[in-house]
Amino acid sequence: MNVLSNNNIKSETGINALKEVMDPEIGLNIVDLGLVYELNFDEENKTVNLLMTLTTQYCPMGESICNSAKNKLETAFEGYIANVELVFDPPWTFESLSEEGRRFLGRI
């Protein structure tokens, strides 16, 4: 798990907030699943931009996972607007799982 950010201090708060966003099917949070790629902050426009992926394109739960991430970020950073952008390049792979994620899935 290696989330890129232009603001390392704020990103820690953001990542903690995103750790509360669960994939409802797997029951694991999106950070440990390795779905979060980048978390950037635009102080001028008061926006927090999340770049993330899904385990599969058109994942049936994709819309609610993205909405949940947006809601969590806007709660964590009051007065900020959260933008969630999905990318599928690079695609999610099993190697994206964090150690915590592998432990959760019974693989460690």
Site of interaction with other proteins (CB under 8 A): 20-22, 24-27, 37-38, 40, 49-51, 55-72, 75, 83-87, 94, 97, 102, 105-107
The residue among 12 and 62 lying less far from other proteins, judged by its C-beta, is 62
The stretches of 4-61 forming alpha helices (DSSP H) are: 8-18, 30-33
Q: With contact defined as beta carbons under 8 Å apart, do 62 and 23 qualify?
A: no
Looking up tokens 């926006």 gives 47
**Smallest distance from other proteins to CB 81, Å:** 9
- Tokens representing residue 31 in the block: 């950070």
**Smallest distance from other proteins to CB 16, Å:** 13
**Interatomic CA distance for residues 39 and 10, integer angstroms:** 9
**Smallest distance from other proteins to CB 9, Å:** 18
